[in-house]
Structure formats: structure tokens, C-alpha cells
């Protein structure tokens, strides 16, 4: 149960006793207390004797039960919860007074925060939290769901308590699944800083998956972030967070650049900006994301959303476009032109670059530089497609050389002047029928994956068998390791011996004419055979 949003608790059936300072607080009189509580009343509340029921005040609007429970998780068993959302308050019951004392003592030295806002925790006058049966069932459902998320099991039939050890590390290991859009280091910092101070982040790609290590200043903040964010989507229906505690307790960050950052050490050098040695250690191909300026529009659109299924609701127009299957995060002013460098100038052509970059966006124009033929400008439909292509293709090996892909300062790729011979180095693809993403809602939007050794083939003509396809791909210079037809035999998976071979055969054979008005479609697959 990843969506831990349970109906709000608006009523309470405490055994009401005269003279209860807390219950008097909830009288309808507007003069009962100020927003922060009167000094006299606050003093009496602070002097309440220890109790296993804790009173939590000044909670942010729309806070979830899960986030409140997370405050108590590191200190022992959580047995009940009552939310008073209209008053931005809650009661949390622990199994023992000792656990509550430990929690209060800890948070007297470390300011408790929920969504980056300080909250106030004190002992309640109540010795236990009494709710009516319906509300208690809901509370126990939330507790069971939290427990299931923590231990990876299904909710227990035992309506007892939640018993969790203190968080083992302030460092989280984060894996991004279904990464259809780029996820930058700054995006991660903004999302996770809602739960506490983010000190360090290291990003890398391993096993063709974008991953990160993120260190909080306190293990409790890491526990809260893991509890609230594991299984959530950063963007609508994609970029799903999978979060575990790392075995590391401290990250060693040497450079502040687009792949790593130590927020406590702004004096660190940027390094070479490519970190190629790190990529070889962490697993190639890299595909690690390049940094984007604030103009990319991500940071302005990121804010935690409870119950929406996505952590960062986009602007209404962008969300509608994303739902329709269009790559549009927020209207960014980022150029749609990329600079690809360190190319094999003997092998690369505008057509091959059009095909490769066309896996991630609709390429409009390609220009191989006349005086530097190992570099090319590639213009895509918009900045979001350019960023997506850059995130997946930077660092990939193409025709024997590691290709570098960065954002270009150019806004468009200029066509050669009429009558000027540029040796066919520039080509306009704006009217190409091979654009994968011009149709809103196309299934191609759901099938964008990093380069991999396994390719997905579709639009296979009737009568074409496994041997035919194996021979076709072998003749393109590759070595076929495995093959699998889908049931209808119109689609198949074919595994090459390396990612580089898969890239080369995709460039050679996408749109290959199989006869009978069937053109083979080739894309990277997330599956293996």
C-alpha cells in the first residue's frame, strides 16, 4: 500500500474530563488561545507530566497521517493516532511512556520538522488515546500500511503495534524507475529537503538505471523521507522513486558539479564535469544527467503533493500535456539544440544522428560542423526533448567513440545558404514521417528507455522468421546473443552482445524496408531475454 492517504480524522470521542487544558483548547471561542498559544496556557502545557500520548501542534496544512507517524517511528512502537486537521494538530500514542520521553527529549534538542516547517511536540494530559471504533480502525489501517511499506510485507492481520528499529543510516539509496523525463540533482535536493537538511548527493547510472545516494543531516529525516516518498512518482505516471537505506553512513564528495554535490562545502572544485572515471567504476553506459539552469523550469514547479500520485504537480497546462502523452514538463526557455561531440567522423551521418536522437524526441535538423566533423548540432522539437535525449545519450559509445552530448548555446540549426555546397553535412528533417512523438498520446511516450543491449522490434512482416531477423542484424556488424518472438510474431526482442552494437544496429535498421509496405521499427527495450 504505497498511497498512504486515509480519510482525515475530524472527530474525537475522548473521555472528556473537566479541567483538561488540551480539550479546552478546542472550544469554539476564538479567544481561547492565540495562534501560538497564550503564555499562561503554554506554560501549563509544558508542565504536563510525561505521558505516552503526545500532542503535536503547528502542523502544515494538508499533512498526512503518515508524516505524523514518521515523527515517532524511530523511538518505539506507535499504537494510535488522531488527526485534528482543521486545527493543524494531532495526537500520537506510543506504546510506553519511556518511548514518549525519549522522543520528547530528542526533539527538545533537535527541532522536529514536517515538510521543512518546525512543529511543536509536548506531553498530553491524556494517558491513552481513546477514539471511537470507526476512527480507531482507520488509525490502525494507516499504521499497518506504514509497517508494510517499512518491512516490504503486506499489512499484518494483527491490529497491534508498529515496532521499528531506529533508522540505520542518514544516507538513502534512490533508484528512479520509468524515467521518461530527466531527473536532476537539483530536483532531488528540492524534493528531499522537504524532510530535513540535505547535506550531500551523488548521482550515477548503474545497470542502465539512474540512481543517487543522498545524505541527510539526521537519520530521523532520512526515515521520514523514505516513509513518505518510497513508491511515489516525481512526474505524472513516471519517474518512480524506489528508496532504501544505504549501508554507507557518510558520503565522500570530491566535486560540486552536475553529478555530485556537498552542500556543506561550496568551496569544492567542479572537477572535469564529465567524471568519466566514476562512470566506469559505477557501471557504464553513463547516461547520468547533465545540470540544467534554473531556466529549465523544474524547480519552480516542484512542490510535494499529497494523494496526487505525483510528488511534483506540474502547471495545469503541462500536466494536461503530460497526461496526453506529450513531453512537456513546464514551459521552459531551454534551447532544443544539442551539441554532440567526440563523434567518429568517418562513420557518422546526419541520417544516423537523426535516427539515434529520434528515439527520444522529434529531430528537426542535424548539422555536422564543416570545420570540426567530429561534432554536430541536433535540433529537437523543444527543450524538454533535448534534455531527455541528452540524459540518455551522453556518455554512450557510438561507432567506437564515447559521445558527449551537451546543451548548445544556439537556439536553432541554420540551413546552408542557397547555392552553398556544405557537402551534405546539414539536413532538414522537419517534414519526416519517421517522427515518433508528433501524435499526442502515442504509445511511444510510454516506451522511452535508456540504451540497452536488448532491442524491441515491431511491425514485422508476416512470413519473416527468427533466422531472417538474426541474419539481418548480424549483417549490420553485430552479434546476436538471444531472440524472442512475441505471441503475434509481429513484435520481437533481439539481444546484441553489447549496448554499442545495439545502438549501431538501431541506427542501421530502424525503418528498414521489409517489403509489402512494412518498415521495421526498432527501439531500446527495458526487458531482457
pLDDT tens-digit map of 81-99:
888 878 999 999 988 998 8
Q: Is the pLDDT of residue 165 over 80?
A: no
Taking the C-alpha atoms of residue 57 and residue 90, their distance in angstroms, rounded to an integer, is 7
Integer angstrom CA distances of residue 13 from 18, 96, 140, 523: 14, 22, 16, 60
Q: Determine the CATH number of domain 334-431.
A: 3.30.70.330
Closest CA to 217 of 233, 202, 197, 201: 197
- Which grid coordinates are listed for 315? 502547471
What is 171-262's CATH superfamily? Answer: RRM (RNA recognition motif) domain (3.30.70.330)
Counting residues of the chain whose pLDDT is more than 70, the rounded percentage is: 71
Q: Is the pLDDT of residue 9 over 60?
A: no
Angle of helix 65-72 versus helix 219-229 axis, rounded to 10: 150
Residue-level pLDDT at 144: 66
CB–CB of 113/48 below 8 Å?
no
- Which grid coordinates are listed for 50? 510525561
- Give the E-state strand segments of 12-138 in sequence order: 53-57, 78-84, 89-94, 113-114, 117-118, 120-123
Q: Is the pLDDT of residue 404 over 50?
A: yes
Q: Determine the CATH number of domain 53-129+136-142.
A: 3.30.70.330
pLDDT tens-digit map of 190-218:
889 888 889 999 999 888 789 999 999 88
What are the residue boundaries of the structural domains of the chain, listed by start? Answer: 53-129+136-142, 171-262, 334-431, 449-528
- Which grid coordinates are listed for 509? 535498421
Sheet strand arrangement including 492-496: 480-485, 492-496, 454-458, 521-524
- Could you tell me the pLDDT band of residue 422, with boundaries at 50, 70 and 90? low
Q: How many CB atoms lie within 10 A of CB 145?
A: 21
Residue-level pLDDT at 440: 67
Residue 437 φ/ψ, nearest 5 degrees: -120, 15
Integer angstrom CA distances of residue 4 from 145, 175, 201, 378: 7, 20, 27, 44
- Could you tell me the pLDDT band of residue 526, with boundaries at 50, 70 and 90? confident
Domains 53-129+136-142 and 171-262 alike in fold: yes
Taking the C-alpha atoms of residue 196 and residue 214, their distance in angstroms, rounded to an integer, is 12
Residue-level pLDDT at 12: 33
pLDDT tens-digit map of 316-372:
333 333 333 333 333 344 678 999 999 999 999 999 999 999 999 999 999 999 889
Taking the C-alpha atoms of residue 68 and residue 458, their distance in angstroms, rounded to an integer, is 49
CATH fit for domain 449-528, picks 3.90.1330.10, 1.20.120.640, 3.30.70.330, 1.25.40.10: 3.30.70.330
Taking the C-alpha atoms of residue 502 and residue 404, their distance in angstroms, rounded to an integer, is 18
Taking the C-alpha atoms of residue 474 and residue 501, their distance in angstroms, rounded to an integer, is 10
Q: Name the DSSP letter for residue 291.
A: P
Identify the residue whose cell numbers are 561507432. 399
Q: Is the pTM of this model over 0.95?
A: no
Residue-level pLDDT at 74: 75
Sign (positive or negative) of CA dihedral 343, 344, 350, 351 = negative
Amino acid at each position: 500500500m504505497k498511497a498512504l492517504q486515509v480519510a482525515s480524522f475530524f472527530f474525537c470521542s475522548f473521555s472528556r474530563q473537566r479541567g483538561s487544558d488540551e480539550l479546552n483548547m478546542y472550544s469554539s471561542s476564538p479567544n481561547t488561545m492565540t495562534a501560538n498559544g497564550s503564555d499562561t496556557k503554554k506554560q501549563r502545557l509544558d508542565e504536563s507530566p510525561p505521558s505516552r500520548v503526545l500532542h503535536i501542534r503547528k502542523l502544515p496544512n494538508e499533512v498526512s497521517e503518515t508524516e505524523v507517524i514518521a515523527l515517532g517511528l524511530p523511538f518505539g512502537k506507535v499504537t494510535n493516532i488522531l488527526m485534528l486537521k482543521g486545527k493543524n494538530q494531532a495526537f500520537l500514542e506510543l506504546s510506553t511512556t519511556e518511548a514518549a520521553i525519549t522522543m520528547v527529549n530528542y526533539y527538545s534538542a533537535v527541532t522536529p520538522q514536517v515538510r521543512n516547517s518546525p512543529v511543536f511536540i509536548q506531553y498530553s494530559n491524556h494517558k491513552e488515546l481513546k477514539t471511537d471504533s470507526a476512527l480507531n480502525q482507520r488509525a490502525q489501517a494507516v499504521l499497518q500500511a506504514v509497517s508494510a511499506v517499512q518491512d516490504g510485507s503486506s499489512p499484518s492481520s494483527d491490529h497491534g503495534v508498529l515496532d521499528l528499529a531506529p533508522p540505520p543510516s542518514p544516507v538513502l539509496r534512490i533508484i528512479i524507475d520509468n524515467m521518461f523525463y530527466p531527473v536532476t540533482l537539483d530536483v532531488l535536493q528540492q524534493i528531499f529537503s522537504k524532510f530535513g537538511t540535505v547535506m550531500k548527493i551523488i548521482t550515477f547510472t548503474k545497470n542502465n538505471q539512474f540512481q543517487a545516494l543522498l545524505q541527510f543531516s539526521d537519520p530521523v529525516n532520512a526515515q521520514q523521507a523514505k516513509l513518505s516518498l518510497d513508491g511515489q512518482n516525481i512526474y505524472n505516471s513516471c519517474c518512480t522513486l524506489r528508496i532504501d537505506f544505504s549501508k554507507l553512513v557518510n558520503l565522500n564528495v570530491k566535486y560540486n558539479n552536475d553529478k555530485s554535490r556537498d552542500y556543506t562545502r561550496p568551496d569544492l572544485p567542479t572537477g572535469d564535469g564529465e567524471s568519466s572515471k566514476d562512470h566506469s567504476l559505477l557501471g557504464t553506459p553513463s547516461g547520468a544527467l547533465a545540470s540544467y539552469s534554473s531556466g529549465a523550469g523544474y524547480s519552480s514547479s516542484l512542490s510535494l503533493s499529497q494523494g496526487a500520485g505525483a510528488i511534483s504537480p506540474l502547471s495545469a497546462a503541462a500536466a494536461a500535456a503530460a497526461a496526453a502523452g506529450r513531453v512537456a514538463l513546464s514551459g521552459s526557455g531551454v534551447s532544443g539544440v544539442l551539441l554532440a561531440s567526440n563523434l567518429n567522423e568517418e562513420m557518422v551521418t546526419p541520417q544516423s544522428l537523426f535516427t539515434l536522437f529520434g528515439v527520444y524526441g522529434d529531430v528537426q535538423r542535424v548539422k555536422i560542423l564543416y570545420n570540426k566533423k567530429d561534432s554536430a548540432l541536433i535540433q529537437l522539437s523543444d527543450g524538454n526533448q533535448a534534455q531527455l535525449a541528452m540524459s540518455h545519450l551522453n556518455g554512450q559509445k557510438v561507432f567506437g567513440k564515447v559521445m558527449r552530448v551537451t546543451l548548445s548555446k544556439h537556439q536553432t540549426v541554420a540551413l546552408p545558404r542557397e547555392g552553398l555546397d556544405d557537402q551534405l553535412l546539414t539536413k532538414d528533417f522537419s517534414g519526416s514521417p519517421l517522427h515518433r512523438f508528433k501524435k499526442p498520446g502515442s504509445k511511444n511516450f510510454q516506451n522511452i528507455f535508456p540504451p540497452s543491449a536488448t532491442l524491441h522490434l515491431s511491425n514485422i512482416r508476416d512470413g519473416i522468421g527468427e533466422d531472417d531477423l538474426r541474419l539481418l542484424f548480424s549483417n549490420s556488424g553485430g552479434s546476436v546473443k538471444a531472440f524472442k518472438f512475441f505471441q503475434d510474431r509481429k513484435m520481437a526482442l533481439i539481444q546484441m552482445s553489447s549496448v554499442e552494437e545495439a545502438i549501431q544496429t538501431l541506427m542501421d535498421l530502424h525503418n528498414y524496408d521489409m517489403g509489402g509496405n512494412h518498415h521495421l521499427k526498432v527501439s531500446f527495450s527495458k526487458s531482457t531475454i
